[in-house]
Amino acid sequence: MSLPPNIGSREYYSSENLTINAAKYCSRECQKIAWPNHRLECRPSPTCPDPHPIYQNLGYPARKTVVDAIRDWSTLHEYAITVIVSIFVHLLAAELGRTVHDLVHSDVAMVITLNPIGREPLRESPADRFTWQSSLLKAKPDALHDEFGFTRAAWDAAEARRDRWAAHRPADAANVVGLFLTTTSVAGSRVSVAREYPVFRVRKPLGARDADVLHDVREVLSGLASTRLVARLPKQSRSVFPDVGHVVKEGREWVFAVEPRWNWSNSVPHYVVRSFKSRLSVPVLFMRFRDIFDMP
């Protein structure tokens, strides 16, 4: 609930600095509830120096809004990122001659970089604020600390959460090797969000053709994330193909809507298909992928 001036023993402001259209709240809880609507009009005051001009250049009033946008985007693309991380780890382990278990529990992380798009991203759908740019491996927590502010203590806490997750969810852990740390950052900013994604087991040792299939599936899913489309876990449990669609607004909420014209045989962008190593059609790729990975 927003309060008139001078009411309440403690005031909570909508920004870390004095802002235009600043609002006061009676508690942190009310502030969080009001933030999705208030952030559309919250802007730094011209009389107060802005300590984060880089966020302004991206179209965001403050660091928190960039973090929220990354988290929203990552949640929408959770299925695609989970598959990509699992593929990334398995292919890297095969290339390095290491076991997946050792790689998951080593001091490495996957770094995803997003491209910011749109002049007024907060008015766009969460899926239309970024596109996938690239992913790479970052070694050592110290390197993460230098670039992303990810400290050794945070790394140790993440590993402790991974161990607790495996201990308390043995049924799910049966087909999961472990949780792999992934940071998602926006190009041109100093903001990143760290999260762990499960690495699923394969049903059999990977052969050369299997590696090509995984490479191509990764190209398809990252390519979709580069075109503002969202791939979601299929509603039909027996389907081998993820649902593909857009995020549309219904009332005040953003919801996922399946694209009715999507066809896995001919809707994937041609530049993605040209990067394939297996030369298989997209439908066959996903059928082969489900045969390789032990995913729910």
- The verdict on residue 36 lying in a domain is yes
Per DSSP, helices labelled H in the chain are: 28-38, 53-58, 63-76, 78-96, 100-104, 141-148, 152-168, 170-173, 208-225, 270-273, 282-292
Quote the domain boundaries for residue 157.
67-292
Let me know whether 208 and 140 are in one domain. yes
Confidence category of residue 231, pLDDT binned at 50, 70, 90: very high
Let me know whether 73 and 43 are in one domain. no
Residues pairing with 111 in the sheet: 136, 183
Name the more confident of 144 and 288: 288
Let me know whether 83 and 44 are in one domain. no
Let me know whether 173 and 47 are in one domain. no
Q: For the chain, what's the residue count?
A: 296
- The verdict on residue 6 lying in a domain is no
The pLDDT of residue 269 is 87
Let me know whether 74 and 211 are in one domain. yes
Tens digits of residue pLDDT in 88-125: 999 999 988 889 988 888 878 888 989 888 667 777 88
Let me know whether 100 and 164 are in one domain. yes
Let me know whether 77 and 139 are in one domain. yes
pLDDT more than 90, % of the chain = 20
Confidence category of residue 11, pLDDT binned at 50, 70, 90: very low
Contact in structure between 285 and 210 (CB atoms under 8 Å): no
Let me know whether 121 and 25 are in one domain. no
Let me know whether 103 and 35 are in one domain. no
Angle value at C-alpha 108, between 94 and 176, nearest 5 degrees: 60
- The verdict on residue 154 lying in a domain is yes
The pLDDT of residue 164 is 66
Let me know whether 81 and 184 are in one domain. yes
Prediction pTM value: 0.75
Let me know whether 257 and 140 are in one domain. yes
Tens digits of residue pLDDT in 182-203: 888 888 777 778 888 889 999 9
Name the more confident of 267 and 192: 267
Confidence category of residue 289, pLDDT binned at 50, 70, 90: very high
Contact in structure between 130 and 178 (CB atoms under 8 Å): no
Let me know whether 42 and 133 are in one domain. no
Most trustworthy range by pLDDT among 30-44, 70-84, 156-170, 184-198: 70-84
Number of domains in the chain: 2
Q: Which residue has the tokens 């933030």?
A: 35
Q: Which residue has the tokens 């992928």?
A: 289
- The verdict on residue 94 lying in a domain is yes
Tens digits of residue pLDDT in 126-139: 888 888 988 877 66
